Amino acid sequence: MDDIKEQLLARARELGFNACRVARCGAPPHGVEFGRWLEEGNAGEMGWMARSKERRMDPEQVLPGGRSVIVLGMNYWQGKEEESVGRGKFARYAWGKDYHGLIETRLRELDGWLTGLGGRQKCYVDTGPVLERDFAALAGMGWHGKSTMLISQELGTWFFLAEIMTTLEMPEDEAARDRCGSCTRCMTACPTGAIDAPYHLDARKCISYLTIELKGSIPLELRPLIGDRIYGCDDCLTACPWNRFAQASHEAAFQAGEGTRLTMVELLGLSEEGFRRVFKGSPVKRVKRRGLLRNVCVALGNVGGAGDLAALEKASRDEEELVREHAIWAMERIRERQEGNL
């Protein structure tokens, strides 16, 4: 199988993956911890995690007869972020096109090739019942940082993960060792204290959860901590010193699109049709217009000024109750700030 693995690595490179490694397809090392994390309620409203708990902890339920997990990494770092007055912050992974479709297309090519060798596969990009960071660490792709994110010695923190479970047995790569040492920069950088212990994240406090996964109102006590972030948060990633090795991605699809260049006031003025046009093919579309405008209102409440009140006043009459509620809160915050009460 050594020769097949060499061919696999070559094909992965040709398809634009920056890393490709192999782990044994068995019980993930942190399955018990994952179950405990769910029981503690750390997943918040992400009920789909609990529904697939048993499958995540037992790959045999996902692919009977699975022998190997091929772990693939794709760099999405686009270089230094440009600062611009009036813009909100989008997580870097959402600057360009949705990575799911792009990577899935390339996984299908590898799947077809492996099938030709007699294998059966299951392919996933972030959405399947797989504890992907466990397998990535077992395969030596990187190690679990104290933020719970995977860190690569070559790519830093800026890469997507994908997995192919296969019934083919391939030589395993050596597992990665933890290289965080005594560093706690990611924990210190978290605006809400969501990384409440090394290697433990309370998703209910995480800004990525609050601005993407949470569908209802953002808790009042957490709104001021969100700052000007309107879709996700990269603070724990940005703080990691291993990013000094990060190189700009050559994947054009990940370059910033129109939506990330609009000011918050311009975003607040988007109609349903305008939102769909601007964020077509973008990960941002998953929060829908009401979710994004909710987030924009919170950000303006935190950093906006008198010049933003007219846009917020209009938003306070929006057809979506969720938008109206957060727009009213934002106006109150700006006025309190003007009066020196904040």
| Residues carrying an active site annotation | 126
Largest CA distance in the chain: 71
Cα(51)–Cα(37) distance, rounded to whole angstroms? Answer: 14
The separation between CA 48 and the C-alpha centre of its own chain, rounded to angstroms, equals: 16
At residue 179, the 3 state secondary structure works out as coil
Q: Are 251 and 232 within 8 A, CB to CB?
A: no
Helices marked H in 191-234 — which ranges?
Answer: 207-208
Cα(323)–Cα(292) distance, rounded to whole angstroms? Answer: 9
CA distances from 84 to 90, 244, 286, 302 (A): 13, 24, 25, 16
Contacts 24+ apart (CB under 8 A), 206-210: 206/233, 207/232, 207/233, 207/235, 208/91, 208/232, 208/233, 209/44, 209/46
Q: Count each helix (H run) and each strand (E run) in the chain, helices first.
A: 14, 8
Q: How big is the chain, counted in residues?
A: 342
What contacts 10, CB < 8 A, 6 or more positions away? none
Q: Which two tokens stand for residue 12?
A: 């992965």
